[in-house]
Amino acid sequence: MTIDLREHVRERYAEAARGLVAGAGCGCDRGSVGCCGDEATTRFGKGLYEASERAALPETAVDASLGCGNPVAVAELREGETVLDLGSGAGIDVLLSARRVGPTGIVYGLDMTDEMLALAQRNAREAGMTNVHLLKGVIEDIPLPAGSVDVVISNCVVNLSVDKPAVFAEIARVLRPGGRIGISDVVAEDRLSPEERAARGSYAGCIAGALSESEYREGLEAAGLAEIEIRRTHAVADGLHSAPVRARKPE
């Protein structure tokens, strides 16, 4: 079942990448807008970024945004930092991060989907970014050494994982002491059971696999992260919300 879910998610995002390359749109199925409709009612996608941010990026990087927030803003990146984007997709957050950290910084983008990685590589070349490194892998087993990054970001991807405790443990492992996370994700209200979450949307659509707010906090704490802040912003379904998530690895 775990493998089936992961392959379902992989194929969903591979299909989105193929659609963008073919000029057929992103194939968004989240009941959202952004890449799929009117930005005025955006719950997912490119409309969650400032127009000035989007204007500086390749069109396919922007149109492929399927996230629920802007983790680059959540993370408050600084020049010279090393950043890891989990589930980097076509690269919108990688490219925005690369601009924030500047030529002395490094940004890694990790994705499991070949089609998204190819699209991100094309977007990085088009944007002229030389401080971007794209990696193939799964977020439950990050292909980077321990203590190698200052900041981990992610945009509506942790909820897609089939092993969230492993994701949190890996985040803590790759962070340097004092490092931090800036994640945008979907969280459920504590009142909703897993079955109720599943009834409100699909796994690949970032709903069925969402953790409750308490579960998210407990998962980060169990991985050894501290100063945890989870703040709801906008609803994406009944009882489910987009939320910036911040935490820090103790010194």
Instruction: Please state, in angstroms and rounded to a whole number, the distance separating the CA atoms of residues 178 and 180.
Output: 7
pLDDT value, residue 34: 32
Place of tokens 């952004």: 34
- The pLDDT of 218-231, averaged and rounded, is 98
Element (H, E) at 19: helix 2-21
Q: How many residues does the chain have?
A: 251
Q: Would you place residue 12 in the very low, low, confident or very high pLDDT band (cuts 50, 70, 90)?
A: confident
Element (H, E) at 216: helix 213-222
pLDDT value, residue 11: 78
pLDDT value, residue 220: 98
Which two structure tokens, joined as six digits, stand for 182? 């800036």
Nearest-CA neighbor of 25 among 60, 54, 50? 60
pLDDT value, residue 169: 98
Which two structure tokens, joined as six digits, stand for 160? 């897609």
Percentage of the chain lying above the pLDDT 70 cut: 79
Instruction: Please state, in angstroms and rounded to a whole number, the distance separating the CA atoms of residues 229 and 218.
Output: 12
Alpha helices (H) along 22-129: 51-55, 59-63, 71-75, 92-101, 114-127
Taking the whole predicted model, whether its pTM rises above 0.95 is answered as no
Q: β-pairing, 211-212 with 175-188?
A: parallel
All structural domains of the chain, each given as residue ranges with its CATH number in brackets, are 69-248 (3.40.50.150)
pLDDT value, residue 159: 92
Q: Would you place residue 57 in the very low, low, confident or very high pLDDT band (cuts 50, 70, 90)?
A: low
Of 11-15, 115-119, 159-163, 211-215, highest mean pLDDT: 211-215
Distances (CA, A) of 19 to 15, 157, 175: 6, 20, 35
Q: 251: number of CA atoms within 13 Å, CB side? A: 0
Q: If you average pLDDT over every residue of the chain, what do you get?
A: 85
**Dihedral, 67, 17, 11, 48 alpha carbons, nearest 10:** 10
CB 159 within 8 A of CB 210: yes
Of 22-26, 90-94, 223-227, highest mean pLDDT: 223-227
| AA identity, residue 228 | I
- The pLDDT of 212-228, averaged and rounded, is 98
- The pLDDT of 108-113, averaged and rounded, is 95
Element (H, E) at 186: strand 175-188
pLDDT value, residue 28: 46
